[in-house]
Structure 1
Amino acid sequence: MNAIVEVPAGYRIDAKGRLIPVDQIKAIDIERSDLVERLIGGAKLLQQQMLAFKKLAFGDIAAFIQLSAEQHGVQLGGNKGNVTLFSFDGKYKIVRQSQESIRFDESLQAAKALIDECISEWAAGSNDNIRVLINDAFQVDKEGKISTGRVLSLRRLDIRDEKWLRAMDAISDSIIVTDSKNYVRFYERDSEGKYQAISLDFANV
């Protein structure tokens, strides 16, 4: 942790931590520094306001969902926490989403072994497309990681084979949630009836 340095009157600290007399610094350098520090101060204040609003938004949405559940006996959003709320006139909507990052544990290898057995047992030729799909799903990228999306897409194949279904169960058992991020997004309906995002991204404002 950097120690706080007392800066004597008439001096400024440069990028190397040296005390430089103000009368030895070019006026344009002082103007530039003042501009940067002023705008950074505004940005940090805005960041704190956005953090406070984010906390308020999530808290209020959670409180409303709890209130709705108590009054109607219905849990909005399901297990994942995804929910969409509309204003009475439909002009505005708020979407709360939960996005999970996942990986697979060693059970995935058991699933792959079962799938390989299925491919071997099925009639040759008629399952070439499925074979290509499966081989593609289990390919690793440059970092040696398997695409979770491709593997999970195998579960959508309508295959009733008992061994295949066991493999799909093994895939489900191998899933480990490594991270969960919550988002809240705000929308306003335009003159054409389409919902446009109310951007809180500085670059898109």
Structure 2
Amino acid sequence: MIPGAHAPRCRSATGEVSLDNNRNIMSTQQTSTIPAGYMQDPQGRLIPEAMVEDIDKLRDQTVREIVAELKELQALTQAKKRKTFDAVQAFCEISAEKYEITWGGNKGNVSLRSFDGQYKVERAIQDCIVFDERLQVAKNLISECIDEWIAEGVRPELAAIAQDAFQVDKEGRVSVAKVLSLRRFNFPDPRWQRAMHVIAECIMVTGSRSYIRVYERVGATNKYVPIVLDWSAI
């Protein structure tokens, strides 16, 4: 333990335990295969603890203590998330029962406010959209249009917009929003029209994601600020 610091403690099913116990619980697989008195290095080699520097042991203990606490916090957050979604859905069903209507599943955006308007809870459902291989066909058609337009000296600004729309991220995926934004341009060129038609046809909805956002009103204003759980924003 770091000199001068108190060992943090956490709860388990059997009561309060130290992080040293959590460390053993967290690394059950590791301790079951590593003989007592040894530590395993990144290459999988067993190193006698007597040969490991004290600072390396302290670093290992510090990291494992942090990981153990955050894994516990992660599990708690996951449980709270499920509970929050269930609470919103349960309220929606109760509200619908008043009118003898079945709510009909977990889909649908919902906004709930406290009686005094101080707090707001929103459930948002967002479709997961991807494009199939035909997006390349649309890209080729758009490139033909742009190359010809640039050669003719017309619509040069559209080249940058189209190129940006088809830029890929680190995972090789294009921005769905940017590609779909091209459809707001209604050029009469048949190739452009075909490209927009292809984009519309190659859209695939692979699923949906649900989000819960919680807001608090600022004073007596109508402005709401989110209650965030992002560490970098706290």
Displacement, 1:54? Answer: 0.6
Residue 122 of structure 1 is matched in structure 2 by: none
State TM-score, norm by structure 1: 0.67
Displacement, 1:5? Answer: 0.7
Q: Aligned match of 1:89 in 99, 108, 116?
A: 116
Q: Aligned match of 2:216 in 181, 188, 191?
A: 188
Matched residues, percent identical? 35
Residue 199 of structure 1 is matched in structure 2 by: 228
2:166 is the counterpart of 1:140: yes
Following the alignment from structure 1 to structure 2, what is the Cα–Cα distance between the partners of residues 87 and 70? Answer: 20
CA contact (8 A) 2:129 2:203 kept: yes
- How many equivalent residue pairs? 190
Following the alignment from structure 2 to structure 1, what is the Cα–Cα distance between the partners of residues 185 and 96? Answer: 36
Q: Which has the higher contact order (CA 8 A, sep 6+)?
A: 1
State TM-score, norm by structure 2: 0.60
Unmatched 5+ residue regions in structure 2? 1-28, 145-151
CA contact (8 A) 2:110 2:124 kept: yes
Q: Secondary structure at the match of 1:191?
A: coil
Residue 72 of structure 2 is matched in structure 1 by: 45
Displacement, 1:90? Answer: 0.9
2:192 is the counterpart of 1:153: no
Displacement, 1:40? Answer: 1.0
Residue 7 of structure 1 is matched in structure 2 by: 35
Unmatched 5+ residue regions in structure 1? 117-124
Displacement, 1:103? Answer: 2.4
Residue 36 of structure 1 is matched in structure 2 by: 63
Following the alignment from structure 2 to structure 1, what is the Cα–Cα distance between the partners of residues 134 and 124? Answer: 29
